[in-house]
Amino acid sequence: MRIATWNVNSIKQRIENLVAWLSERQPDIACLQETKCVDEAFPRAPLEALGYNLAIHGQKTFNGVAILSKYRFDEVILGLPGDNRDDHARFIEAVISTAAGGLRIACLYLPNGNPVNSDKYPFKISWMDRLIKYTYERLKLEEPLVLAGDFNVIPAPEDVYDPPAWIEDALFRPQTREKFRALVNLGLIDAVRATTDTASLYTFWDYQAGAWQKNNGLRIDHLLLSAQAADRLSAAGVDKHVRSWEKPSDHVPVYVDLDIEVQR
């Protein structure tokens, strides 16, 4: 079972690259963020042609998340609980039946939070608090759980090309990393970090200032696994080469392989 996450930065602009990458990497489940597309306009056909079921939660202009799955969804839940005033399409959750019981996938697009002196930063922090509470509740189920997405969090200095330059940024400032640690410390494993200690495994390079050419990247897209999922972790990786394709997203896909059989 291969599970991947990719912030595509517009599903309409990225559909050709997405189809090419799905054909190449062959994920069973792919979590997408920043689809920037209302559900009625989502390009379903080319993805269904590859054999994927779709769970989508979009909105006009911004945000938008989706889960593609080769397996049938038992359940799909839209939105992160905890704030009725939050109308951003940033969270979608799906359950799939496996031989080991329910496999739960949460696809998330955590708020950026910049600039930090605006109301965007408290929104990010409260969103992280809600994610912590959600995860705390879900972990009680003691099932394989994967939190997959664009967390907009640089977990550690080795995950950014120039740590001092980023210390005040919403993605890296101490309070942000503290919240991320609180999340992970509930009992989650960072799949990429569990399989390698290589620095500079970036998942994002800004379109600006020649960031890609200079390898000025960030590691902000993550797959966090519950113990029941981590016990079955066999591999993790970052598809860096996708950033060099024509018309790239500024993020690249990240994936994990779990030894989980699915009931057809």
Residues that bind DNA (CB under 7 A): 7, 9-10, 12-13, 34, 36-37, 60-62, 111-112, 114-115, 120, 150, 152, 162, 164-166, 169, 171, 204, 206-211, 214, 216, 218, 220, 247, 250
Considering 109, 134, 202, 255, which one is annotated as catalytic? 109
The answer to whether 109 is a known catalytic residue is yes
Q: What are phi and psi of 84, to 5 degrees?
A: -65, -20
User: By C-beta, is 20 or 165 nearer to DNA?
Assistant: 165
Min dist. Cβ of residue 207 to DNA (A): 3
150 is catalytic: yes
DSSP 83: -
**Shortest gap between Cβ of 85 and DNA (angstroms)?**
16
Q: What is the 3-state secondary structure (H, E, C) of 214-250?
A: CCCEECCEEEEECHHHHCCEEEEEECHHHHHCCCCCC
Helix/strand/coil for 200: coil
Pick the closer one to DNA by CB: 72 or 214. 214
| Shortest CB 29 distance to DNA, Å | 21
Q: How far apart are CA 102 and CA 253, in angstroms?
A: 24
Supply 172's token pair.
Answer: 């890296």
93 vs 150, beta carbon nearer DNA: 150
Residue 187 to residue 167: CA distance in whole angstroms: 26
Indicate which residues carry an active-site annotation. 109, 150
